[in-house]
Amino acid sequence: MTSIVKSIIDSFQSFPIDPFLLAVLAILIPGIIIFLIMAVNALIAVYFERKVSAFMQDRLGPMEVGIFGFKGGKKFWGGIGQTFADAIKLLAKEDIIPNDADKFLMVLAPFIIFTGAFLTFIGLPMSDSLVISNFNIGIFYIIAMSSVGVIGIILAGWSSNNKWSLYGAMRAAAQMISYEIPIALSLILVVLVSGHLDIYGIVQWQSENRWFILHSPFAALGFVIYFVSVVAETNRTPFDIPEAESELVAGWMTEYSGFRWALFFLSEYANMLIVAFVASIVFLGGWLSPLQLIDLPFFDIPDSWMFLDGTIFGIFWLFIKAVILIFCMMWFRWTFPRLRVDQLMYVCWKIFIPFALANVILISIWELIF
Amino acid sequence: MDTALDKSIVNIDEMVLNMGPQHPSTHGVLRLKLHTDGEVVSKIEPIIGYLHRCFEKHCEYLSYEQIVPFTDRCDYLASMHMDHAYSIAVEKLLDIELPERVEYIRVIVAELQRIASHLVAIGTFGLDVGAITPFTWTIRDRERVLDLFEALCGARLLYNYIWPGGVSHDLSPKFIQRTHEFLDYFETQILEYNELLTGNKIFIERTADVGVMPADVAINFGVTGPSLRGSGVDYDLRKTQPYSIYDKFDFNVPVGEGTMGTIGDCWDRYWVRMVEMEESIKIIRQAMASLPNGDVHAAMPKKIRPAKGDVYSRYESARGDVGIFIQSNGKNVPLRLKMRSPAFCNLSVLSEIGEGWMISDVITILGSLDIVLGEIDR
């Protein structure tokens, strides 16, 4: 299976180029691509979220700032420039570090969180043969990398030397570490059934059989557990207790401002995209066209109608699925109240983990029988 | 087996958490000193006074007419109620008879104000438990009430509308028509709030059985208003000591029944406010149906100079029992004016019912008491 790193190395091999420079290029180009994906994702997702929340709350949302409408309040494209303006504002803002804070850790923390999200993208395919680097343990790598961020959160909360931040960090640590277990247990289902840790293998299995969510009732339950758990993992309402605005002011990011805060924001939305991608790839057939699901009893759809497949359309389908899931997460956020800490732990340890464990056993039995 | 930590080996300290005066959910400038052990709050010390404006001392230098703008600013979410309470006290002191139309108009605006105030209470309570959308919805509908008031007297928040001896402007037929439209619209909105928030499983988990205030505790601490009725005590001054013309109307006093948990929990206090809005709609409908014609000013002396004596009058505002005590020495300024603030007494119960709960619950309980700092500090 080809990957972007491989194709860069292959295409430069014909030139007389220093191997060291080649390695730098092979690291730099994917890095820039990932950063662009994260930045563009944050810009669009923030705008999307503001508009979604606005329409749910009977408002208009950002309407004033257009791309060409900074001056004179000219309305243009429904405030599409708002997030650009916000990004510029955040970059230009004064960076405040409190006097009593642990300066080194406080500066370090946003980068750890950012790195966690950044590294996950390496193993995350955007479509058929569109991946930075292909691992044979892709799912495992993604689970591992997405839990790096919690270290940064604990550091951020501790080093801020603020009681609210400390509470937020304590809550975040408990919550994110707990919810990794149901996430891993639901992703194990697909590994059990398809026999692949490799993401391409998983999608290959789905294209040969059917979408994994349609595999058995246990797989569908696994999807529900996975999706609810990742909402908790990304700290969004109804599980946003680490940053609980009405309780902890802003939780572990209370003392951050400017660019460092922007990095948190960037990572939060990148994490949303990652978990939506993983859910689409593992449970919803990844870049496979949903048209393949159509199975009419008296009419055989010819293969030539399936032109909406392939690499380019794969990107399209994957993004459509991811955007629908992201929309659901926003929908949760703007309609649900927040759970309390102990209730959150109750949901995880007493409901999700037993069910996910039972799921693993039951789906194995299902596989044995059918 | 003794699992408790040996405190001689491990040094256990309580962490003092300073919540407010600048905190998103202390409803203004309240400061709470929380002694916390992990997430659990073992002691709550409310510290007030950040919005103190010397209301009572000011009143000793102002003539009776000039006090109305100051009562406006006490409970700024229910200004009409404060003006009404004060006007009733002055009228009682002067012993004057009001035209009937004045009483009807006052009841209509007071009940509209109760709806507006409860909308803020419900919305911010939703905000306290983390639901943001109910707040924007309730504020949207409160806006309609404020639009009505703006059409009525020109002001949206601090009305200066109810004066001793009357009201500042008469109701127009257009106002009555718009009020009818609003009530028709608002009845359907209440159903929407119930769908969005009241029946939400997470909301019930967060509020039911949380911060239970038994009836005896509520009475001992002098809690009044919806918070008292949430504890199952059927006590509403509009029924028990009808002032103005409330004895003419047919309405119920909702009390907490422990539908989702125990009687007197946060959900009950929330639910009482929700039902009270429906009852207010009933009262407004009845008042507008039988609105008499007449003057909107009583025959008043040019300068209010009550005879020597004192008066204490009580009024059921959106937060509870507002008591106004006025002592007059025959001059045009009161010798002493004392206000019993319901939110102040309601806040006093916070440390009683809030201790032992988690930080999140303390905020829920504080939100369910629906305090307004302008009234507490005066």
Neighbour order of strands in the sheet with B321-328: B309-316, B321-328, B336-340
On whether the CB atoms of residues B262 and B209 are closer than 8 A, the answer is yes
Q: Which residues of A touch B136 (CB under 8 A)?
A: 57-59
Contact partners, residue A39, CB within 8 Å, separation at least 6: A266
Given an 8 Å threshold on Cβ–Cβ distance, is A56 in contact with B133?
yes
Question: How far apart are the CA of A174 and the nearest CA of chain B, in angstroms?
Answer: 12
Say whether A53 and B132 touch across the interface (CB within 8 A): yes
Q: Say yes or no: B201 contacts chain A, CB-CB below 8 A.
A: no
Query: Which residue among A238, A337, A340 places its CB closest to the CB of B358?
Result: A340
CB-based contact A336 B197, cutoff 8 Å: no
Closest chain B residue by Cα to residue A168: B39
Residues of A in contact with B137 (CB under 8 A): 57-58
Q: How many CA within 13 A on the CB side of residue A297?
A: 0
Residues from A contacting B (CB-CB < 8 Å) are 53, 56-59, 163, 167, 237-238, 240-241, 244-249, 334-343
The pLDDT of residue A166: 86
pLDDT digits (tens, 9 = 90+) for B299-341: 777 788 888 888 899 898 888 889 999 998 888 888 888 888 8
Could you give the CA distance from residue B34 to residue B47 in angstroms, rounded to a whole number?
Answer: 11
Name the residue among A163, A241, A342 with its Cβ closest to that of B15.
A163
B25–A337 C-beta distance less than 8 A: no
Contact B360 A244 (CB under 8 A): yes
Percent of chain B with pLDDT over 70: 97
CA distance B196 to chain A (A): 7
Q: Do B129 and A247 touch (CB under 8 A)?
A: no
Residue type, A230: V
**Residue B117 gets which letter from DSSP?**
H
ipTM over 0.85: no
How close does chain B come to A75, measured CA to CA in Å? 24
pTM for the full model?
Answer: 0.85
Which chain A residues are Cβ-neighbours of B130 within 8 angstroms? 237-238, 240, 244-246, 336-338
Q: What is the pLDDT along chain A (370 residues), one digit of tens a residue?
A: 567 777 777 777 777 777 788 778 778 888 888 888 888 888 888 888 888 888 888 888 787 776 655 555 555 567 777 888 888 888 888 888 888 888 888 888 888 888 888 888 888 887 777 777 777 888 888 888 888 888 888 888 888 888 888 888 888 888 888 888 899 888 888 888 888 888 888 888 887 777 888 878 888 888 899 999 888 888 887 888 777 666 777 778 888 888 888 888 888 888 888 889 888 888 888 777 777 666 666 666 666 666 566 667 778 888 888 889 999 988 888 888 888 888 888 888 898 899 999 988 988 888 888 7
Confidence of residue B1 (pLDDT cuts 50, 70, 90): very low
* Res A149: pLDDT: 81
Mean pLDDT of chain B: 86
Long-range CB pairs of B68-74 (<8 Å, 24+ gap) are B68/B160, B68/B162, B68/B163, B68/B164, B69/B158, B69/B160, B72/B158, B72/B159, B72/B160, B73/B158, B73/B374, B74/B339, B74/B341, B74/B374, B74/B375, B74/B378
Nearest CA in chain A to B26: A246
How do strand B309-316 and strand B321-328 relate by DSSP bridges?
Answer: antiparallel
Neighboring chain A residues of B144 at a CB cutoff of 8 Å: none
SS (H, E, C) A190-213: HHHHHCCCCHHHHHHHHHHCCCHH
Phi, psi of B243 (to 5 degrees): -100, 175
Q: Which residue in B has a C-alpha nearest to residue A59's C-alpha?
A: B136
Interatomic CA distance for residues B86 and B70, integer angstroms = 10
**Interface touch A336/B25, C-beta < 8 Å:** no
Of residues B291, B270, B243, the one with CA closest to residue B91: B243
Smallest CA–CA distance, residue A74 to chain B, in Å, is 26
B313 membership: H or E segment, kind and range = strand B309-316
DSSP B31-75: EEEEEEETTEEEEEEEE--TT---HHHHHTTS-GGGGHHHHHTTS
B9 has pLDDT over 80: no
B40 CB within 8 Å of a chain A CB:
no
The rounded distance, in Å, linking the Cα atoms of B228 and B269 is 8
Q: In this structure, what are the phi and psi dihedrals at residue B142, rounded to the nearest 5 degrees?
A: -60, -35
B196 contacts on A by Cβ (under 8 Å): 335
Q: Do A249 and B361 touch (CB under 8 A)?
A: no
Contacts of B132 in chain A (CB under 8 A): 53, 57, 334
Which of A248, A334, A343 is nearest residue B133 as measured by Cβ atoms? A334
